[in-house]
Amino acid sequence: MSEKKFFTQTGEETLQELSVTSKGLTSAEAESRLEKYGKNQLDEGKKKSLLQKFLDQFKDLMIIILIVAAILSVVTSGGKDISDAIIIMAVVIINAVFGVIQENRAEAAIDALKEMSTPIARVRRNGHVEEVDSTLLVPGDIVLLEAGDVVPADMRLLTTASLQIEESGLTGESVPVDKNQDAIVADDAEVGDRVNMAYQNSNVTYGRGTGVVVATGMNTEVGHIAHLLQNADETETPLKTNLNKLSKILTYAILVIAAVTFAVGVFVQHQDPLEALMTSVALAVAAIPEGLPAIVTIVLALGTQVLSKKNAIVRKLPAVETLGSTEIIASDKTGTLTMNQMTIEKVFTNGKLIDATDEIPSDDLTLRVMNYANDTKISEQGKLIGDPTETALVQYGLDHNFDVRDALKKEPRVGELPFDSDRKLMSTIHKQADGKLLIAVKGAPDQLLKRVTRKLVDGQVLPMTDADKQEILKINKSLAKQALRVLMMAYKIEDTMPELSSEVIENDLIFAGLVGMIDPERKEAADAVKVAKEAGIRPIMITGDHQDTAEAIAIRLGILEDNAEADSHVLTGAQLNEMSDEEFQKAVSQYSVYARVSPQHKVRIVKAWQNEGKVVAMTGDGVNDAPALKTADIGIGMGITGTEVSKGASDMVLADDNFATIIVAVEEGRKVFSNIQKTVQYLLSANTAEVLTIFLATLFGWDVLKPVHLLWINLVTDTFPAIALGVEPVEPGIMDQKPRGRKASLFSNGVMSSIIYQGILQAALTLGVYWYGIKFPVHSGYDAIHADALTMAYATLGLIQLVHAFNVKSVHQSLFKVGFFKSKVFNISILISFVLLAITIVVPGFNKVFHVTNLDGHQWAAVIIGSLSMFVIVEIVKAIQRAMGLDKKQ
């Protein structure tokens, strides 16, 4: 059933194909078909158990390395020291729990789709109307629809009476669609153009109708979307890619370090092989930055808090960082770039074309007709309830001091001809104070102009000439070119109540005016598009709306240049269908606007940009957006207008549905990545220093640091400063840089070279101070001299890392420009770390625990000079790098 295009055939042909009459199925036939087609509900797909999801989190290489490190740390200590193992496993389990939570959130999208289905449907069975559970509907059922209903299955319409269905969840089009059972639609028509069909989960806003069910469950359009959701590839985030690369690099480095250390111990220092093995394993464990996953999680979590205060609710932690690498923002039009509220922009009345903001007299006939021929209701709270087009007309009246409620008290409605999709007109009759009747008619210009014989100019009614009609058509065309939806207003005065028929009421009318309206762009969206372009991000628009509307809004927003030709920059869904994947891949960078597209098209567009190596963010609010939201590197749902389905498939939700909020989030994302990069630089350069210090000391036959020293330095100087670096304020000019993209890594922009030389420098300074302590002793005797030198090396390595934290505030910029003490969090963290380090040396009672001695002024001077040398040397290197232009390279 799902492959048959019923919209290309008549209702009678559809009934014949489904072997049913307009009287409906019998209960026996419905039961038989239910067995054949299954229930009208969405498949859940294969779900993993909670335990499976939890265990899956341990397949990551970094996690495996950490678990091995935890085991080895216990083995090397002979089971006496398990503190490292406890810390490592706590980090691993916390990360696993986060992963499970995120996976459960992703599955919520399918559940939300299921919950949208209407529970009850009215069908004709056994020759009369019955109410049945919508899950029991089958192809061939005849369903009755009326205003307020949710369409329970995909149907070919058989009868329509002014039927309008709001399909924005499927098409993205903000205006309800007029349905017509007699229309025969082209084979390549998209959902929004299939006016003879009604689709599951869309809403009947006006009129009534009947239809025959042609698809149920997973064979419906919503079912196709559910299938796309179930099979959408979860794109690996740039951060996860980077951490995986880091895991591989560390794995190789650790294996090399362990092998070389073992070889040196056995063949150079002639150690016992078992002792050498234990030393090399201990060193390998020290090389792992076990705190990194936890710190990354903390930095991302803090980033989500910042974004939540700026109306961006992050559902998946890595999304914060992914935003920073975004190169393409594919945005839905309605509600994100536009207001999702039809608004009048132009009015042609009394022979003049005026802007909506211009003054208009309260007795103007165009103003009166648009408010009278209107079914909008106004609640006690002043909220307008009704069709978006009609509410826009009433809102225009209220904005110009014309309250239709007061007007109707003076000129009440005494008759009407409701809107009809065939006539495309609506008429109301109002009794005036003088007893005469005002007939107000609004409708489509092409239909209403045929019925107009006169015109109103400066209070005079004059005959309508052919030249006048051509002028009206010219203005109508001009407004339509601006993507404005145009309605015409006409009227006439009768002495007595006429017959309520279109032939009598809607003829020999007086032309009053034209009204042009549109869902306007958000004021802040154009500025946000400009900022995005300056930041090297390309905004593109993907919408289910018509090409002309999409093009006009895109030009007004700056997505397209005003002089751009639509054919070269706007691609429709029908045109996309004609292109092979290879052809589209070659042309994808040519288009900035996609109009009249389907859910499959949106996924295809996102994937094409991803195949270009781009990091893609996708916004959307409808059910039709969900597959693309899930496929994109970062899916952005709408908090106000968005369906639960689209929110469930998203990584981030905009609480204010505002495109400008995305740009704010991008800046925060760039800051988060920059800070994670600083954290990685700080931790790995510190770990490199520790490994090199121990390795070289082993090579020289020195006993420089004890295991307790490494443990305490890692605890106090790694943790607090690393977290503080993760919440550093944004560096100036970060939005002037191009997106780093998918290829950039945590080691790009000079970070890797900085890690290497800064690690070597820390190790050299630490060993230098140790050598100084041996060569220029304060006490006599080997044990005393060695104890002092050991203490000096310990103090130097700890202080160097605290000093180095200041260096890492910027990879290339001088600390004098970045600022020493701008961040209160950073200052406090350095102070806490310094105090915890100093306690182990200067507070009585700690000496024995940490194997340290009390140093004199001479020795402390050597420690301080050695530590501060780190800052001076790094500042000199940064100055040389800036002079060589290395800071400009990504």
Catalytic residue ranges: 332
Give the DSSP per-residue string, 299-332: HHHHHHHHHHTTTEEESSTHHHHHHHT--EEEE-
Are the CB atoms for 624 and 543 separated by under 8 Å? no
Across 408-482, the runs of DSSP E, i.e. the strands, are 413-420, 425-431, 437-443, 452-457, 460-463
Q: Give the three-class secondary structure for 436.
A: coil
Longest Cα–Cα distance of the chain, Å, equals 125
Are the CB atoms for 554 and 583 separated by under 8 Å? no
In 518-563, alpha helices (H): 523-534, 547-557
Cα(413)–Cα(433) distance, rounded to whole angstroms?
Answer: 13
Burial 485-511 (b: 16+ CB within 10 A, else e): bbbbbbbbeeeeeeeeeeeebbeebbb
Q: Give the three-class secondary structure for 779.
A: coil
Nearest to 694 by CA among 804, 805, 794: 794
Cα(518)–Cα(843) distance, rounded to whole angstroms?
Answer: 74
Tell the residue number behind the tokens 């300056």, with chain if given.
Answer: 534
Q: Which residues are 385's β-sheet partners?
A: 377
Sequence-separated (6 or more) residues with CB below 8 Å from residue 132: 120, 121, 123, 125
Cα(334)–Cα(542) distance, rounded to whole angstroms?
Answer: 10
Sequence-separated (6 or more) residues with CB below 8 Å from residue 186: 8, 193
Angle of helix 292-308 versus helix 659-700 axis, rounded to 10: 160
CB atoms within 10 A of CB 10: 16
Q: Which residues are 155's β-sheet partners?
A: 198, 213
Nearest to 320 by CA among 336, 301, 298: 301
Are the CB atoms for 120 and 40 separated by under 8 Å? no
Sequence-separated (6 or more) residues with CB below 8 Å from residue 834: 799, 802
The structure tokens listed for 314 are 């992050």
Q: Name the residue type at position 53.
A: K
In 535-643, alpha helices (H): 547-557, 566-569, 573-577, 581-587, 599-611, 626-631
Q: Which residues are 612's β-sheet partners?
A: none
Cα(771)–Cα(397) distance, rounded to whole angstroms?
Answer: 88
CB atoms within 10 A of CB 16: 12
The structure tokens listed for 312 are 């961006």
Which uninterrupted H or E stretch holds 638? strand 634-638
CA distances from 764 to 690, 793, 860 (A): 11, 11, 18
Q: What is the dihedral of CA 666, 670, 672, 675, to 10 degrees?
A: -170
Q: Name the residue type at position 847.
A: N
Sequence-separated (6 or more) residues with CB below 8 Å from residue 782: none
The structure tokens listed for 499 are 């017959």
Q: Name the residue type at position 741.
A: G
3-class secondary structure for 205-242?
EEEEEEEEEEECHHHCHHHHHHHHHHHCCCCCCHHHHH
Are the CB atoms for 222 and 112 separated by under 8 Å? no
Cα(133)–Cα(627) distance, rounded to whole angstroms?
Answer: 28
